Amino acid sequence: MIQLVDDLLGQMQAKGAVELIEDFAGAIPIEVIGNLLGIPRSERGPLRDWSLAILGALEPQLTSEQEDWGNRAVLEFKTFLGQIVDDRRANPGNPETDVLTRLMQDDPNGGLTEVELYQNCIFILNAGHETTTNLIGNALDLLDRHRDKRTELLNRPNQIATAVDEFLRLESPNQFGNRLTTEDVTLHGQNIPAGTDVHLCIGAANRDSRQFDRPDDMLLDRRPNKHHAFAGGPHTCVGLTLARMEGKIAVSRFLNRFPNYQIADGAKRGGRIRFRGFAQLPAQV
């Protein structure tokens, strides 16, 4: 991963004027997930657009165009995966290191059906791509707006682990969780009957002053930092260790290479309700 990040940094250095989402934040998770699923490098081109299309179709209000685009992306991705799966069946990888081979293995309770196999691959891409892109993009935006914090991190590079969690808390890449209550629940005096759709506002919980001292301030060494960026309970993000690792390597190596970077005019938010991040983040490095 370090090599991948350094290669991207080298390409950006040669350009000077860069687009941090396309050239960096969005490129890292695509390569990482491409490696996880064993998708050949030369064939990873459409992955990012498929992921954006599918996640875009999760917004609470959709145009018919967004819905069509999302459905089309699932079908195209499935066809694409068909070739990869056939190839892996013929040439299985090491199940300890190759996620696709592992997913295709039988287990005592019966393996995944064909549909489950495809859906899990699509899910891994979707779960790990835009979220991690947002983490890296949001972190670089925060460190541009708070130059004193950038200096602090440059002077104390071993703060990167707690810093990444603080970026996740302040600008959570995934702002919502959805749950359906299976029994009556009482929360803070509020009765929620069984069968209620509950929308959990992760971004708001992460700035709750009952949990966090100075919740709107960025404290790079905040400890404890019990944020909900990765949700909680049985469905806590299974990619959280990988995501944190991507965030730490990307942000620390970027800062080392480009300590004086500046976000340029033309930054554009993703415009999603569920996901918080940037569609475009031009910068001068």
Q: Which of residues 10-49 bind ligand HEM (CB under 6 A)?
A: 33
**133 lies in the binding site for ligand HEM (CB under 6 A):** no
Contacting residue, 51, 138, 174, 206, with ligand HEM by CB under 6 A: 174
**Least distance between ligand HEM and beta carbon 26 (Å):** 13
The reply to whether 237 sits near ligand HEM by the rule CB under 6 A is yes
Q: Taking each helix axis from N to C terminus, what angle separates 2-15 and 27-37, rounded to the nearest 10 degrees?
A: 150
From 41-49, 51-59, 237-245, 262-270, give the range in contact with ligand HEM by CB under 6 A. Answer: 237-245
Phi, psi of 41 (to 5 degrees): -50, -45
Position among 93, 177, 203, 215 found at the interface with ligand HEM (CB under 6 A) = 177
Whether the link from the prior residue into 224 is cis, omega within 30° of 0, is yes
Helices (H) and strands (E) in the chain, counts: 11, 9
Q: Is 163 in the site for ligand HEM (CB under 6 A)?
A: no
Rank residues 72 and 101 by Cβ distance to ligand HEM and give the closer one: 101
Of 54, 73, 229, 255, the residue at the interface with ligand HEM (CB under 6 A) is: 229
Which residue's CB comes closest to ligand HEM? Answer: 239
Q: Which of 54, 142, 143, 243 binds ligand HEM (CB under 6 A)?
A: 243
Identify the bridge partners of residue 27 per DSSP, sorted by sequence position: none
Contacts (Cβ under 8 Å, ≥6 apart) of 192: 181, 184, 185, 186, 198
**Rg value, the chain, Cα:** 20
Contact call for residue 251 and ligand HEM (CB under 6 A): no
CB of 79 to ligand HEM, least distance (A): 22
Q: Supply 236's token pair.
A: 């806590």
Tokens representing 219?
């404290």
Question: Which residues, including other chains, have CB under 8 Å from residue 138's CB and lie 6 or more apart?
Answer: 167, 170, 171, 173, 276, 277, 278
Query: Where on the chain is the footprint of ligand HEM (CB under 6 A)?
Result: 33, 124, 127-128, 131-132, 135, 173-174, 177, 229-231, 235, 237-239, 242-243
